[in-house]
Amino acid sequence: MIGSPDVVAFTKEDVFGDCVYPDPWVIPEEFSVPLFPQANNANPWAKTSYAKFTKDFILISEFSEQVGPQPLLTIPDDPKVCGTFDLNYFSLRIMSVDYQASFVGHPPGSGYPRLSFVEDSRVVLGDSKEGAFAYVHHLTLYDLEARGFVRPFCMAYVSADERKIMLQFEELSLRFSRASECLKTGNRRAFARELQRKLRDLEYTRSVLQKEEGLQREAGPQGCYSAHVVEKANELAAVEKSIYEHRDLLKQITSYPLRPRRDPHAAHCQRCVTESQTDAHSSHNAHTHPDTSPAVRGEEGERRQSYTPQLIKGKSAKCFDKRLKTLTELCQESFYDATVELLTDTERCFRGDLCYLHTRRLDRALRRKQNITNFLFEEELGEEEEEVAALGRIFCSLTHTKEAETRLHNPSIMLCPVKDMEVCTPCPASSALLSDALAGDERLELSLSDLTMETQDQESSEENKDSFSSDRSGGGDGGEKESDENVCPNADSNAITDRNADPNTDRADKESSSEDGGSSVLEDEGGEEADHTPIFLLEVEPGCGQQGGRTDSGCEPEAGMEAHPDSLVQMDTACCMSQEGFLYDSSPPVKLPGSGLGPTSLPLPLVVNQEPQAMLPFQGAYSLGSPHCQGPVAGLDLPVKSLGDTASRGSDQDSSDCTMSASAGSEQIGLPVGYRGVVTLRQRKKAGQGALKFVRQYPFALQALWSLLSGRTLVVLGSEEGRVRRLVSALALYVPGPGRCGERVQPWLSCPFSLTDLQSWKLIGLQRMASPVGTSMLCSLSRYSRYISVLDADQKTLRCPSYRGSLLANMADHRTHIRRGSTYFLHLQSMLSSLATRAFLLSFTHHLHLPIIPGEKRQEVEERRRGFLKDQLGLADDDCNVLLYLSQLITKHYLDTETTPHLEADNTSVTTHQDPESVSMPDPATGGAVSHQDPESVSMPEPATGGAVTHQDPESVSMPDPATGGAVTHQDPESVSMPDPATGGAVLSEQYLDPAKPLSATRGRNPPSFTYHYTTSQVFKI
Amino acid sequence: MSSGPPQSPAVAKTEVTVEGECPLLAATFAYWDNILGPRVRHIWSPRCEQPLLLSDSEVTFLANHTLNGEILRSAECGAVDVKFFVLAEKGVIIVSLIFDGELKGDKNTCALSIILPQTELAFYLPLHTVCVERLKHIIRKGRIWMQKGYNIISVLTSEIVPIMELLSSMKTHSVPDNIDIKDTLLNDDDIGDSCHEDFLHKAISSHLQTCGCSMVVGSNPDKVNKIVLTLCLFLTSAEKKCSRLCKADSSFKYDTGLFVQGLLKDSTGSFVLPFRQVLYSPYPTTHIDVDINTVKQMPPCHEHTYNQRRYMRSELSALWKAASEEDIAPDTIIHTDEFFTPDLNIFQDVMHKDTLVKSFIDEVFMLKPGLNLRSTYLAHFLLILHRKALTLLKYIEDETQKGKKPFRSLRSLKTDLDLMVEGDLNIVMAFAEKLRAGLHSFVFGKPFYTSVHERDVLMSF
């Protein structure tokens, strides 16, 4: 029998062998590569697991001449972010990169110390052991007390993902360059001020010494100088020398902007350079010809009085027990604040996973190339930092940001609706707010990442799901809200805030307000510095340029946002459930892009005149909250809850409620739309969760989606406002061309609507009421049942035509395994993009819309088009309707944007279509009269063309072509025909598909049209 | 240069003749001498039409600069850290790879650097990963050489020179960012005008399945370049900057790491593909021969990565076993090893058909050429692909709790995201792989590794 000791000997042989006698032919692991790249952490998400910090942050460090490298500040300033990461060690590492061999001190041949103006340097480095990588931006600040007058600093963006830094190197570099320029400018101003004071002290000391020396000389015997006198004379000479040195330093620092820049990537502003040249020149003149401008000197003299010079010793003590200035002391406060805000903005902007940041950029670049269809399902595009950089419009953080920033960030600034904008004052030097706005909806990635934090429970819980407050508690949102809240309390209710306000303008505001308040600190300091130093170095210009700028663009409403006086209509408060004294007129001066499409083409004023009933919903819809409101007006009874405590908080969603509805719900529910506020990606993403729930919960979701996507208005009926709003919010994602501000979605309506409203709204949330008004509403529902689908949120039923197709199947599969709303939103985005792509194809495939042979009838063309959809794309009838509707929208949008001026002039020909199955629409290109012969039908003339309409039925509304005029003949009560978007709407010839060719060239032809069939509705229940 | 540390007594220098304009100012190898501090050991400088802007002393200063602070280095043995400097004051960019190596019996911190003018920043940044990955691998080899006491310079030269040539060729033949669709096959009046419909479909489909990485080989440079430009339409801006057209008169060498490259056959009608370089490409590659209209592709990412790693290990192992400096030249192809015999037939037929590219090609030619419609349609198509990729990534992220759990619901993914066709899934996975490296290995790796392991076990009997 073999004993265990014998076995042990065998088993251990290999182990010992390995340890004691390593095989020299086997390559050690340190010289090889792992077989599996992610052997240690087998999943691609875990690459940052060994980093000791939780998320990216910005670190500002200094190489102190007393204590060496030390961390000063982190952004965000939260210890949790850095975790156990050793900031001291990392500061040592990043500051020990000797970035410049810059010379300081007395250069050979020069009697005075020279300031070295070194360019910033940028380094990307990492510590693979710590899992920390950093973009490090080194810069030098000036300090009169420091060794060589320089204080080396660096600002570092620290991340666990090296690739993230390298892939975004240029943007990081741009942003940090801006922050650096801001900090350095503030520092130069502070340095110049310090020099000024020092000069004043020296001059005062000199005068004292001169007096003393004179007295001593007079007191002593003639021609004989005592040791004391000699000492005084030496001291005087030292002071004289010091004065010269300091004057020279002052001269050097003022000439800083004039030096040639060696850094092609520095963020400098040409206007700054020009101004500084002028100022430096005048400063130089003041130095060389001190008596030439007595007025100036007199003024300077007055300002000098604000500082009391002190007697100082000729040599300043430079020892290690002195206290070095802090970063805030080294830099003027406003500039320091602006720098921190810029960096905070940078941190926010780069927050999140690289793949989302990267995809966002690609997404935007691609969407820019497909402007024609973006209006269908995409949120509005703003302008990005890198695009700004690419355009060479690097804006100055110092004094000249106004124009650039206003131009740049307007769209994304409008994250919050009008009300928010109104109660906010011009923001403080707020690049932070800018950043909010800038990053705003564009921070897809971070939010997507953040959205992954949603829990399954949240999604399954209706209450939690729509509570945005939980989302706001997240980093980005929270910051944004906080900013808003910080700003809003200081609101000037009369001024509409330009959230793009120039930081410097705001600083100027601060300064001027402090002046108003009697505080003279800044004024005094500015005054004292004015004697030798150019103004641009001394203070932020509060002058008329900026002040004026603020008045011009900062205090005035923005183009699309302004409350036009004409749009404020006095209304009868008895008509509505609650409202302010004024209502916001729904008809904007400029026609909304989405208006006038197909069945919705009647201009609103016409509706009001011809259909008195329409006034009720009109008022109800639009008058329920003044854009100027800051809270509920006394005496108004809100049915559920006062607006004040919820809607005025500054949240974009909540504020939309204020302007849209009379009764804010008991729950805070975000709207999918912001009335006169841009619908943002963030809002849409939040709605994605509701959409997923809708798809999962309602087996007939597909039918509802089909209604929306094929242009049939969907009414969501319910007694509980919160539920209806949630449903509308979710379903709004599927509304094609909802409008920039979601004009085609009415989230909550408490009054009956009319047929004309169906032109404006494709999705309506309707209140169910047990009252005469409620009965009237139900009547309107049944009256228009041919044209609408009704989703009863209380009964959980849907009445609409049934959908038989496959195109949308993957969009609304209630068995889907997609778990999260954010994921479903992404999925939906790609599905809707596919639809838009096919609609684009349909709209711009030439042979589908043009007669192939002379005399080919419109119906034949129409058949060919349907044949294309069925045969080539393999679509069912119902799917065809979706694409035809989208194609129609595209064509209208294309024509509206390309050719509106041409259409207005044509008033000549008249077209009457008599197809019994369809109602012909006046061709916008040809014009035509429209006559109504069917009381139930609705004709939709081309809104862009204009024209007279004869109404024969109170229920029918014809939409004349304003430009061409004409009557529409309705012969089929069951059908509603719309102008052919692809062809007839206007695109009749090949030229129309070519944006380069004018549309008017083909106007004279009679375009084909297609008939839009509204089929019999069915009722779906769960 | 007036300032700086004292120069090394004798810095060896190699001048490399480069055709045309070389954006590289110099490459240096420096090390931290435990007594003297940073010292430069070798300088490579291009000899080209334009004179070098930096003097040797400036190069030395900059090279020393790269090692500053590295005395604090605490990286693991064998790690290669990358530092990237933009020194506006000097007007240069420096890319430094810091590693440890044995010199004269001492363990030293070393730096292999390349220096470019700052004006080339935008040109260089897209190529950074290509350069760094290639330099990293040559450093792995160099470390073995140093360990054995051999001369590392010859090893480094074997990669520095090709990188200089690569940068030089990219200066003249890189693909423009804004490709005019008129220069591509998508401008044809009808599908099949320039090439067979199925060939175009296969080429684009395979190109997308291999993460946008393709080589186009042919005898006619115009024809090759037309395909190159066509394929580049499907790349991002940065990827286009990492793609190269074919030279009209003679061929470039194959370069690892480029996305699309056109290669000209020689007079005999053949082009020699370097096996190792192709295998070292970060992504699998599609091989397109425009003369005979064939499209072949390498295995998908997870298999490619596995093969690549095994080959790398074999190569390094072979170097380790080399008995003398001459025993094995650094660029020798390792054919066999006791554990791994590479399959030289790495290009296979395109097995999986897709519907995404098929419909795109069918549909895009319905739009009239010359009106910018096709470009817009292409943008639509790419947007869908990018969005699908992000959706897929997010789906897997949700299912696996960011990789904490294995992914087991591929079937559901295909159904939910409408990716039932294998080719479609491959395309979207390829896009997602570029966003999240290692995704293929995570999703498909385990069964593959298991099967490879089983095969190896069976073969060992």
Q: Measure in Å the smallest separation between the Cα of B296 and chain A Cα atoms.
A: 26
B184 domain residue, yes or no: no
> How far apart (Å, rounded) are the C-alpha atoms in residues A668 and A691?
18
**Quick one: which of B114, B119, B163, B73 has its CA closest to A125?**
B73
- pLDDT for the residue numbered A524: 37
> How far apart (Å, rounded) are the C-alpha atoms in residues B438 and B454?
22
Q: Measure in Å the smallest separation between the Cα of A48 and chain B Cα atoms.
A: 12
The predicted model gives B410-415 an average pLDDT of 94
Q: Which of B86, B129, B144 is facing A122, going by the closest CB pair?
A: B86
Higher pLDDT, A905 or B335: B335
B252 domain residue, yes or no: no
Range of the domain at B446: 365-460
In chain B, how many domains are there?
2
B152 domain residue, yes or no: yes
**Quick one: which of B202, B221, B345, B359 has its CA closest to B286?**
B202
Bridge partner list, A136: A123, A156
Last residue of a domain, one of B173, B202, B219: B173
Q: Measure in Å the smallest separation between the Cα of A50 and chain B Cα atoms.
A: 14
List CB contacts (< 8 A) between B4 and chain A.
101
- pLDDT for the residue numbered A849: 76
- DSSP for B365-403 reads TTSPTTSSHHHHHHHHHHHHHHHHHHHHHHHHHHHHTTT
User: Is residue B113 predicted with pLDDT exceeding 90?
Assistant: yes
User: A264 and B237: CB-CB below 8 Å?
Assistant: no
List CB contacts (< 8 A) between B84 and chain A.
123-125, 166, 169
Mean pLDDT (chain A) is 63
> Over the stretch B166-195, which tens digit does the pLDDT of each residue have?
999 999 999 999 999 999 999 888 777 778
Read off the CATH number of the domain in which B77 is found: 3.30.450
**Bond preceding residue B5 cis, omega within 30 of 0:** no
Can you read off the two tokens belonging to residue A910?
Answer: 């008249």
Q: Which residues of chain A have pLDDT under 50?
A: 1-19, 40-41, 101-104, 288-297, 299, 389-395, 398-676, 899-1015
List CB contacts (< 8 A) between A25 and chain B.
320-321
Bridge partner list, B349: B296
% chain B with pLDDT above 70: 92
Q: CA–CA distance from B394 to each of A359, B390, B391, B413 (Å)?
A: 12, 6, 5, 11
Last residue of a domain, one of B173, B205, B230: B173
- pLDDT for the residue numbered A1001: 36
B116 domain residue, yes or no: yes
**Quick one: which of A463, A721, A598, A679 has its CA closest to A979?**
A598
* Residue limits of CATH 3.40.50.12430 in chain A: 567-589+598-811
B237 domain residue, yes or no: no
List CB contacts (< 8 A) between A37 and chain B.
305, 309, 437-438, 441
User: Is residue B138 predicted with pLDDT exceeding 70?
Assistant: yes
Pick the range with the lowest mean pLDDT from A666-680, B141-155, B232-246: A666-680
Can you read off the two tokens belonging to residue B123?
Answer: 């040109």
B410 domain residue, yes or no: yes
> Over the stretch A747-806, which tens digit does the pLDDT of each residue have?
888 888 888 888 889 999 988 887 777 777 778 788 888 889 999 999 889 998 889 888
Orientation of helix B197-209 relative to helix B356-364, angle to 10°: 130
Last residue of a domain, one of B133, B154, B173: B173
Cα-based angle A463, A466, A467 (whole degrees, multiple of 5): 80
- pLDDT for the residue numbered A823: 95
The predicted model gives B448-460 an average pLDDT of 72
Which H, E and C letters describe A86-98, residue by residue? CHHHHHHHHHCCC
Three-class DSSP category at B60: helix
Cα-based angle A895, A897, A903 (whole degrees, multiple of 5): 55
Interface pTM (ipTM) of the complex? 0.93
User: B371 and A359: CB-CB below 8 Å?
Assistant: no
> Over the stretch B23-69, which tens digit does the pLDDT of each residue have?
999 999 999 888 888 889 999 999 876 666 778 888 888 888 888 87
Q: Which of A37, A102, A830 is facing B305, going by the closest CB pair?
A: A37
> Of 2.130.10.10, 1.20.1090.10, 3.30.1330.10, 3.40.50.12430, which CATH number belongs to A567-589+598-811?
3.40.50.12430
Q: Measure in Å the smallest separation between the Cα of B375 and chain A Cα atoms.
A: 8
Q: Which of A42, A827, A995 is facing B391, going by the closest CB pair?
A: A827
Environment class of A272 (CB within 10 Å of its CB; exposed 0-12, middle 13-18, buried 19+): middle
- pLDDT for the residue numbered A677: 59
Radius of gyration (C-alpha) of chain A in whole angstroms: 36
User: A265 and B86: CB-CB below 8 Å?
Assistant: yes
